[in-house]
Amino acid sequence: MNLFFDGIAWILDPANQSGPSGWIARLGEQLAYTFGAVAIAAVIAVPLGYLVGHTGRGRDIAVSLSGGFRALPSLGLLILLGLGLGIGFRAPLLTFVILAIPPILAGAYAGFEAIDRKTIDAARALGMTELQIVGRVEVPLGLPLLLGGIRSGVLQVVATATLAAYVSGGALGVFIFEGFSTRNYAEALGASILVTALALVLEGIFALIQRLVVPRGVAAKEPTEIRTRSSRPVAVAGIPAQEGK
| pLDDT tens per residue across all 245 residues of the chain | 688 888 999 999 999 998 888 999 999 999 999 999 999 999 999 999 999 988 888 888 887 877 777 778 888 888 888 888 888 888 999 999 999 999 999 999 998 888 888 888 898 888 888 888 888 889 999 999 999 999 999 999 998 999 998 888 889 999 999 999 998 999 999 999 999 999 999 999 999 998 888 776 555 443 334 344 444 444 444 444 454 44
Alpha helices in the chain (DSSP H): 2-12, 23-55, 59-70, 74-85, 90-113, 117-125, 130-133, 139-160, 173-181, 185-212
Say which DSSP state 166 is in: G
Say which DSSP state 136 is in: I
In a domain, residue 228? The reply is no
- The reported pLDDT for the residue numbered 224 is 39
Determine how many CB atoms are found less than 10 A away from the CB of residue 37: 27
In a domain, residue 140? The reply is yes
In a domain, residue 241? The reply is no
- The per-residue DSSP string of 17-72 comes to TSSTTSHHHHHHHHHHHHHHHHHHHHHHHHHHHHHHHHH-TTHHHHHHHHHHHHTS
In a domain, residue 223? The reply is no
Give the span between the Cα atoms of 160 and 204, in whole angstroms: 18
**Contact criterion met (CB below 8 Å) for 245 and 239:** no
In a domain, residue 230? The reply is no
Give the span between the Cα atoms of 158 and 146, in whole angstroms: 18
Containing structural domain, residue 42? 2-218
**Contact criterion met (CB below 8 Å) for 197 and 14:** no
Give the span between the Cα atoms of 197 and 191, in whole angstroms: 10
In a domain, residue 235? The reply is no
What CATH number corresponds to the domain at position 49? 1.10.3720.10
In a domain, residue 61? The reply is yes
In a domain, residue 70? The reply is yes
Total domain count for the chain? 1
